Structure 1
């Protein structure tokens, strides 16, 4: 969080200069994204009619030294007499979850990355803190089948990393097999496996490694039995230099409790009702009836000045996992939609004057244009 202070101060000052009121600039998390060529069903940027948007094709050119670069100024065709914010929607999608994760990587890392975080594609258990790890090592989250490395993933690792570059494997050989590890090593890179006997232990091991690097300033506790709470928390945790640890429903696994005992000075925030019951002494506790409401509650608290927002389906985890890492590196939150009303998001964004980019992860079968339109044109 400290590392964002300078950027947030600039954003706060610029808003004050325009007469906007900022309730708490310390929490602001400005962001920008480099976008990839559109893939699959994302052939054109989405344009929405109405007062809230204009058909403006905004390109975020990647910086050679960093995967994140500042967006260019937006010119409003014909002016904007209603003073409504102009919002550009980008969709990052592929034919499968593997290609979607690759396209998210290419959107952010035009030339190379410092590392790659490799996660299992069919179960999220060992990957709840993959997003914060990706932010810490400055690399994407890519997906693999448990027993075979997908060709698109292999090609992206080869593109991103020089010989000797590092790939982090999330979980033990049951999650990502020794065969996959050998296939990764054949690409000319080194492998580090982060694993424990269960999901709580794996998440705790990631946290301990990042604490050793003096990267962790907070912990977000989510229910390890509910991937939605974990992946809602992950991008915000990444933005704030935090990690995601897990409860087991309403109880605290011994691995998680031991981490808390060993690091009493690190504040703990809980995401979801189960985690809040598991750790009732949280610094901040977030509960809601639906994943969408929970997403909004977390984002409203930590992003009072919101510039970039990620959107993914709450029906399946894969796009939220790789997309959450993408938006977390860009210092933005992730909202899950699909199984319930988008009204909480619409109400939240109705008076927002700073949001300029919405990134949708996954194809239209996952997040339809109609759902996105409901969010944007409010």
Structure 2
């Protein structure tokens, strides 16, 4: 858990922080400690984990009763999750090792490393460009949260069906001395959901405790920490889909609150990151799907965020997101609008045209390499914050379609993220010859580039977002989330890079909130601990 913090008030909205908290089992003082029973699970989520004084905090609890015969399946899933996590940890270590070797070499060596990092995705995108169906690759597992408190008795269905009648009582103690409150309970007998809202008057760190008391059973409690006025929070779900879902619930905590949803493939970075400015324009979360199948949890989140109707923008061609996914969305009552070009460059231009057609005044653009996710991630948050499109190009020459789009704009400044291996000097020369003001933001490696972008474009940021520089899935939905907080995305590895450390040291006393994308297998706890120490959080 994070240290208690006392910071000056932040200009941060109540829907700002992204954190998923599955509490450990902790029996309340008035109840006997209960040995966990199979099946029943209590999960507690606080939105946000970092709040501003007087801002509204939402506490959501879910109690799910399961049949005993599902225990073996749960055990198998847990074993498989552990195995996947171990496999991915090895893969991430290998990726990062390659990245570190590239960082120590000169720019040409770094270019080779970046090409190696992106080879798999380039092949996948080539298939997309040709209209071939691409199956979703292995899902990156972040730290799978442990099950929370386990209840002793399954609730019974109310006589009339629908919401349970006194099957389980959910009470929340907000930890600030106010009286505990009964939560508003909805759902079925097998899955009971409770909600509570509260505003904290003082800065500090509070422990929110939800107690579930099933009819005839023993109360069990789950504590979750909430910080008011500043601090740090880890933004993680069980996998890339759940992480994006969690971000959506944080930025759009009310049911039906989102203006739209942007749906992107989970195994490619280009479409999701290029869509970050549209996400802010449309008041939309970015959610992820596999190519052939829409995950059940994602479909449920779309329905929660939009309600029974609303628009889902499907990003990419049929090789990226299959027609079957679109059909499922329409069958569920949602309007599905596909935004797709012949390749990732054209898709990014269609998203840019979307901004232009909306009446946005485009006086800045972010240009990045079409096959380099770290540089695109570093630039996408700024682009979304200032309503600037994210444009892609091959490194050797400026794509003619990009130049044609720029010629529609007046007095536009072009921010190029990444070194010559990402966007070559010939591209910058062509832009300058065409009369555009060009600024290259680059360092010796991807980590320095992210720090350079942060220092140049976010000089007064009071929040930062940390993401791994080795892989992109957890960060796909994070660029618009960072933009909503006016925060740069800083890339880290298994250790805190020196360039990022320097940016944080310069911001000590100013930076008051830190968000981490992904679990401890993605961004280690030691890295977050060092960042907290530097910033005094």
Distance 1:71 1:217 in 2: 40
2:411 aligned to which of 258, 265, 273: 265
2:286 corresponds in structure 1 to: 141
Q: Post-superposition shift, 1:140?
A: 0.8
| 1:281-320 correspondence runs (5 A) | 281=432, 282-320=437-475
Alignment check: 8 A CA contact 1:40 1:363 kept: no
1:355 corresponds in structure 2 to: 511
1:225 corresponds in structure 2 to: 371
Give the match's secondary structure for 1:128: helix
Distance 1:214 1:359, change over 3 A: same
Distance 1:193 1:313, change over 3 A: same
Give the match's secondary structure for 1:354: coil
Distance 1:330 1:105 in 2: 14
| CA RMSD between the two structures | 2.8
Give the match's secondary structure for 2:476: helix
| 1:167-316 correspondence runs (5 A) | 167-215=312-360, 216-273=362-419, 274-275=422-423, 277=425, 278-280=427-429, 281=432, 282-316=437-471
Q: Post-superposition shift, 1:186?
A: 2.0
Q: Structure 1 or 2: larger strand share?
A: 2
Alignment check: 8 A CA contact 1:342 1:371 kept: no
Distance 2:235 2:408 in 1: 40
Distance 1:73 1:130, change over 3 A: farther
Note the alpha carbon deviations across 1:312-369, whole angstroms, 9 max, x for none. Answer: 1111111111112211122221111116752212211213222111010101000011
Distance 1:260 1:339 in 2: 39
Alignment check: 8 A CA contact 2:18 2:233 kept: no
2:157 corresponds in structure 1 to: none
Q: Post-superposition shift, 1:34?
A: 2.8
Distance 1:42 1:210 in 2: 45
Q: For structure 2, which runs of at least 5 residues remain unmatched after alignment?
A: 1-7, 26-48, 59-198, 207-228
Aligned residues: 326
Q: Post-superposition shift, 1:74?
A: 3.2
Q: For structure 1, which runs of at least 5 residues remain unmatched after alignment?
A: 1-14, 16-28, 44-56, 65-69, 78-85
Distance 1:158 1:285 in 2: 41
Give the match's secondary structure for 1:262: coil
Distance 1:241 1:71 in 2: 33
1:5 corresponds in structure 2 to: none
Note the alpha carbon deviations across 1:102-132, whole angstroms, 9 max, x for none. Answer: 0111111111211111010011233331211
2:528 corresponds in structure 1 to: 372
Alignment check: 8 A CA contact 1:88 1:358 kept: yes
Give the match's secondary structure for 1:221: strand
Q: Post-superposition shift, 1:235?
A: 0.6
Note the alpha carbon deviations across 1:57-78, whole angstroms, 9 max, x for none. Answer: 74354599xxxxx99763599x
Alignment check: 8 A CA contact 1:128 1:203 kept: no
Moved more, 344-353 or 226-235: 344-353
Give the match's secondary structure for 1:179: helix
Distance 2:505 2:528 in 1: 14
Alignment check: 8 A CA contact 1:184 1:191 kept: yes
Moved more, 367-376 or 135-144: 367-376
The higher radius of gyration belongs to: 2
Moved more, 170-179 or 337-346: 337-346
Q: Post-superposition shift, 1:279?
A: 2.5
Distance 1:326 1:342 in 2: 23
Matching of residue 332 in structure 1 with residue 487 in structure 2 = yes
Q: Post-superposition shift, 1:228?
A: 1.1
Give the match's secondary structure for 2:51: coil
If asked which structure has higher relative contact order (CA below 8 Å, sep 6+), I would say 1
Q: Post-superposition shift, 1:252?
A: 1.4
Distance 1:275 1:264 in 2: 23
Distance 1:220 1:276 in 2: 15
Note the alpha carbon deviations across 1:290-333, whole angstroms, 9 max, x for none. Answer: 22211111111122211111111111111111112211122221
Distance 1:351 1:63 in 2: 31
Distance 1:296 1:72 in 2: 35
Matching of residue 107 in structure 1 with residue 256 in structure 2 = no
Distance 2:445 2:200 in 1: 33
Alignment check: 8 A CA contact 1:220 1:268 kept: yes
Moved more, 29-38 or 220-229: 29-38
1:132 aligned to which of 253, 259, 277: 277
1:159 corresponds in structure 2 to: 304
Moved more, 106-115 or 269-278: 269-278
Q: Post-superposition shift, 1:262?
A: 2.4
Distance 1:287 1:226 in 2: 13
Distance 2:50 2:456 in 1: 28
Alignment check: 8 A CA contact 1:40 1:93 kept: no
TM-score by length of 2: 0.57
